[in-house]
Amino acid sequence: MYDVWKNALAEIEQQISAANFSTWFQDTSLLSTDDGHIVIGVKNSFFVKQLHNRYLDTIKSALEHNNIGVSDVTFEVSSNTKVTPRPREITHTTPSIKPYIRKAKTSLDPYHSTGLNQKYTLDNFIVGSNNDLAVSAARNIISSPGDRYNPFFLYGGPGLGKTHLVQAIGNEILKTRPDFKIFYTPISHFYSDFIDAIQSGKGKEFNLKFRKLDCLIVDDFQFIVNKEKSQEEFFNIFNDLYQLNKQIIVTSDRLPSQIKTVDERLASRLTWAGAFDLQLPKFEDKCAILRAKAELSDIDIEPEAIEYIAENVNTNIRDLEGEFSTILLMSEVRGVTPLELIKNGAVNINKQSRLRPASAKQIVDKVAKYFNLSPKDIRSRSRVSNIKNARQVAMFLLSKELNLSTTKIATEVGLQNHTTVMHGIRKIDSDLKKDFSLRDQIEEIKENIYG
Ligand code: ADP
Ligand code: MG
């Protein structure tokens, strides 16, 4: 574990200034990594919030690059957090930095960050018949935020570009209005921040932070929970911003009226200015997306290979990108072109949206069978690792194939807590990125389900 953290730190140090590195990371340690729940030890509570706000994504990706699956990261004050010796090669490159002498400029406003990822732009969002209405509304918002499409409610299945489009709106607004106060947050983070704020007596700051925004972007609204206080807080913020003509942007995998936990008044307000959806891309859209991706990364790929992928991925754009990268990787490793791979039968894409959907029971049964377990084992609370793993695969498939809510999935696999479901799904999602045998297993299970 020590080595993993040492390597992750080495990577982080490459990405941030030496002063920031010594200020924020010098006294950190990796306390545990159970099931992707990463716990990082820090010196005192000040570091908890600061590391969370400033470096969460940096830490996540550094761990992932060191083959640690990450479903969430928490920071804990740890008395036995030792000063982590800096990796050797790094010491060489920055020998003159002494910890805590040159303090990084600490922001007085812990909420300064926009939460936006700059990789999402409108330039790299390909417009097709599946998303043109939403994109034209987005353009309107970029040129006059808070005006006609307010609130902007964007919905659609997973992997169809919701996060990309709404973050692109934020990034584009900032290009012409750099002082605009924009904040992007998944609804789940909104809750945890709200609860943190209340518990640490910072309710007022939380309140102010949101009320002074010019544009609030809330992602994955379907995860709204029916905790009275938090939902009420969101509702109040929504109303206050709306009255001031501040732009509000909300995404969800379905319409608000279809989310059981949401207050009816809030549900109706969210779609006051209409609801825009993102649909599955058609064949031409898929080809256009792949061509654009190839062009952006300066990759040569035969048009027939693009058409083959487009024809065979009928689920969503995330899968389309996934298959595309896999083929490119295979082509590089094996030294043959993508089209040759396809012609040799080395590529087996099986991403069809099913005409005849499976039932939740079928999925649980087939997963159990595949792992030589009984469906009862999956629904037991057993934490034995092979059972737990099978349960996570089942949760993953229930989510991807049937698009069930995490609460519904929890019921199907005998869990009480829907956050465990979220962790499980994220774990498989992140394992899939590097574990080719897991990919094969899942494909095989799908064949058993649908075949
Ligand atoms: P969602 O939030 O709806 O689950 P994302 O926004 O995360 O989906 O999109 C999944 C992936 O597909 C992302 O990598 C995103 O960049 C890409 N993507 C989605 N739509 C498009 C598009 N129209 N053009 C280019 N890339 C897209
Ligand atoms: Mg998303």
Q: Where are the domains of the chain?
A: 2-86, 132-277, 283-353, 360-450
The burial class, CB within 10 Å (0-12 / 13-18 / 19+), for 330 is middle
> pTM of the prediction?
0.61
Residues in CB range of 228: below 8 A, 6 or more apart? none
Mean per-residue pLDDT, 426-435:
86
User: Taking all residues of the chain, what is their mean pLDDT, rounded to a whole number?
Assistant: 85
Within this chain, domains 283-353 and 360-450 share the same CATH topology: no
Tell me the torsion sign for CA atoms 401, 403, 408, 410: positive
Q: Which atom of ligand 1 is nearest to the CA of 157?
A: 3
343: pLDDT strictly greater than 60: yes
DSSP alpha helices (H): ranges in 74-114? 88-93
- State if residue 409 touches ligand 1 by the CB under 6 angstroms criterion: no
CATH superfamily for 360-450 is DnaA protein, C-terminal DNA-binding domain (1.10.1750.10)
Alpha-carbon gap, residue 245 to 278, rounded angstroms: 25
The pLDDT, as a whole number, for residue 244 is: 96
Probe target for ligand 1 pocket from 116, 164, 429, with the most ligand atoms within 8 Å of CB:
164
Which ligand approaches the C-alpha of residue 120 most closely?
A: 1
CATH superfamily of 132-277: P-loop containing nucleotide triphosphate hydrolases (3.40.50.300)
Query: Alpha-carbon distance 181 to 214, whole Å?
Result: 5
Task: Outline where DSSP puts E strands in 124-206.
Answer: 152-155, 182-186
Instruction: Kindly report, residue by residue over 276-311, the tens digit of the pLDDT.
Output: 999 999 999 999 999 999 998 889 899 999 999 999
CA angle 249, 254, 256 (to 5 degrees): 65
The burial class, CB within 10 Å (0-12 / 13-18 / 19+), for 413 is buried
142 versus 264: which is more confidently predicted? 142
Q: Is the CB of 158 under 6 A from ligand 1?
A: yes
* Contacts (Cβ under 8 Å, ≥6 apart) of 207: 237
- Cβ-contact 433, 421 below 8 angstroms: no
pLDDT at 83 over 80: no
Confidence of residue 16 (pLDDT cuts 50, 70, 90): confident
What does the alpha-carbon distance between residue 252 and residue 158 come to, in Å, rounded to a whole number? 9
What fold does the segment set 283-353 form as a domain?
Helicase, Ruva Protein; domain 3 (1.10.8)
Confidence of residue 349 (pLDDT cuts 50, 70, 90): confident
Which residues on adjacent β-strands are paired with residue 197?
none
Residue 366: predicted pLDDT: 94
322 lines ligand 1 (CB under 6 A): no
The string of pLDDT tens digits covering residues 232-254 is 999 999 999 999 999 999 999 99
- Is residue 152 packed enough to be buried (19+ CB in 10 Å), middle (13-18) or exposed (0-12)? buried
Pick the CATH number of 2-86 from 3.30.300.180, 3.30.70.20, 3.40.50.1390, 3.40.50.2300: 3.30.300.180
The lowest-confidence range among 30-39, 116-125, 309-318, 329-338 is 30-39
99 lines ligand 1 (CB under 6 A): no
Q: Which ligand ends up closest to the CA of 134?
A: 1
